[in-house]
Amino acid sequence: MKAIIMAGGSGTRLWPLSREQYPKQFLKIDSTHSLFQDTYIRALKLCNPEDIAVVTNKFYEFLVKNQIEELGYGIREDRILCEPCGRNTLPAIILGTKVLSESGDCHIIAFPSDHLLSDEAIGVFKEADDKLAGKHIVTFGIVPDCPNTGYGYIRAGKPLEFGFEVDEFKEKPDTATAEKYVRAGYLWNSGIVLFSSSLLMSEVKKYQPEMYREFTKTDKNAGIDYNALESLSIDYGLLEKTDCAAVAALDCKWSDLGSFKSIYDVKEHDDCGNAGNAEFLDSKNNLVLADNRKTAIIGVNNTAVIDSGDALLICNMDRSESVKEIVKRYQAKNDDVVKYHLTVNRPWGSYTVLEEHQFFKIKRVSVKCGSILSLQKHHHRSEHWIVVCGSADVIIGSESKTLTQGQSTFVPAGVIHRLENKGKIPLEVIEVQIGEYLGEDDIERFEDVYGREISK
């Protein structure tokens, strides 16, 4: 068996924890591992590292690489597949299938990267692979423990040697309909799919011929025109149409962690039903996620309080699915609060915004050992650098020098510069930006070892 991990989603439903530049799958929610890392570990229980492909985008490529390396593994460059734009799960799965089946027909399991799933599922995956994957495209349905309006449902049909034929897929229902589905034995749709590569591609050819032609061009230099692809989920684009769909039931702990209510449900609660790092007084059934400050809740019930340092969300737990509507409002204002956390990860390390005002911004810049920033300049801001840990090799205009702890330098606006850590310990720099415009898009790159866009 081989595996595809789909890791391109932006995770707006968990704002402000999740941001466009650091979405849900890379967060460490109540665990030492991120959801993506847990998914990678799950895939390793089914196949070898070289048989795992991660489908993501260029923004997350270094996050994928870094988080796999955190686990003590490496990943081949041709196993991180970057889509130029998101087109939902069907194109992502086809892309991964093309790469993993280059040496011949194979069985592939495709995972979302941002779900919680217990290890009891592994045995079901193996049995489904043995008994179903050659003749069926298998989806996995979760045995519900309650009616839930946040998930799609699957109605199982005729029994097979293992699992069932699929009678029908149902979209997210209202409460009354969800209760009816649970009573009737419907399953939650997990989004996990298992198939043979040859069967998948033959069904794509039959039901999505234009997409098939785009992915199977004979001219290898032409590339895949993602702008020409329709945005389709594998459910709607294929599984609802094919006669080969089957479903296997998973009776285990699972959540798509798609709302703060779902996070509340999987966390430990006190005797009053409260979860999180806070002091609770005369309060019931609350979730508090606030690592940056002491938080106390008095006389409040059924509420989520999410404090990320630069943004605070307070919502009724039953309305936590509506967070995406707030995100849309910030997006309409072009507010960076939906894109970035206070700490922003980069291929070379990270930076944390310590303070920000109209005409100045203070950052803590952390550069990994052996890493180098792009050769760049800014048009609207100057920068002061103060080394607080490690040593910095810097280029400013035509001058090169090494700065050690306690030393500083100045980078005027419009001057080409670069920062590098050649040392054996992480480099920490306090950067003070001054100017009339301090946006992250004020950057012109001339050299970059990470393949980011270079100015012409």
Alpha helices in 310-426, H assignment, sequence order = 323-332
* Long-range contact pairs involving 67-74 (C-beta distance under 8 Å, separation at least 24): 67/26, 67/34, 67/36, 67/37, 67/40, 68/37, 68/40, 70/37, 71/33, 71/37, 71/40, 71/41, 73/40, 73/44, 73/49, 74/49
Spatial CA neighbour of 413 closest among 400, 396, 401: 396
Give the chain's mean pLDDT.
94
**Tokens standing for 30?**
């109540």
State the Cα–Cα distance between residues 2 and 51, nearest whole angstrom. 5
- pLDDT digits 0-9 by tens, 369-413: 999 999 999 999 999 999 999 999 999 999 999 999 999 999 999
Helix/strand/coil for 339: coil
Q: Express each pLDDT in 127-161 by its tens digit.
A: 999 999 889 999 999 999 999 988 999 999 999 99
H or E element: which one contains 196? strand 187-196
Q: 186: how many CB neighbours lie within 10 A of its CB?
A: 23
Cis preceding-peptide flag for 16 (omega within 30 of 0): yes
CB of 383 closer than 8 Å to CB of 411 = yes
**Alpha helix locations (H) across 170-229?**
175-183, 197-207, 209-215
Measured in degrees and rounded to the nearest 5, phi and psi for residue 49 equal -55, -40
Give the C-alpha separation, 234 to 203, whole Å. Answer: 11
Query: CA 142: distance to chain centroid?
Result: 22
The sheet carrying 399-403 orders its strands as 399-403, 392-396, 417-420, 375-377, 444-447
DSSP SS3 for 182? helix
> Given the structure tokens 């592939």, which residue do they identify?
108
| Residue 18 to residue 10: CA distance in whole angstroms | 8
- Give phi and psi for 63, each to the nearest 5: -65, -40
C-alpha 235/C-alpha 340 separation (Å) is 31
- As a whole number of angstroms, the distance between CA 217 and CA 223 comes to 8
Q: Is 429 exposed, middle or buried (0-12, 13-18, 19+ CB in 10 A)?
A: buried
Q: Which of 256, 199, 208, 216 is nearest to 232 (CA)?
A: 208
- Alpha-carbon distance of 262 to 150, in angstroms, equals 9
What burial letters (b/e) apply to 414-426, b meaning 16+ CB within 10 Å? Answer: ebbbbbbbebeee
Q: Along the 456 residues of the chain, how does pLDDT read in single tens digits?
A: 999 999 998 878 999 999 999 999 999 987 799 999 999 999 999 999 999 999 999 999 999 999 999 999 989 999 999 999 889 999 999 999 999 999 999 999 999 999 999 999 999 999 999 999 889 999 999 999 999 988 999 999 999 999 999 999 999 999 999 999 999 999 999 999 999 999 999 999 999 999 999 999 866 656 888 888 999 999 999 999 999 999 999 999 999 999 999 999 999 999 999 999 899 999 999 999 998 899 999 999 999 999 999 999 999 999 998 999 999 999 999 998 999 999 999 999 999 999 999 999 999 999 999 999 999 999 999 999 999 999 999 999 999 999 999 999 999 999 999 999 999 999 999 999 999 999 999 999 999 999 888 987
Domains and CATH numbers, the chain: 2-255 (3.90.550.10), 260-327 (no CATH), 343-447 (2.60.120.10)
For the entire predicted model, the pTM comes to 0.90
Q: What is the pLDDT of residues 46-68, one digit of tens each?
A: 999 999 999 999 999 999 999 99
Tokens of 332: 């309409």
Structure tokens at 137: 């495209």
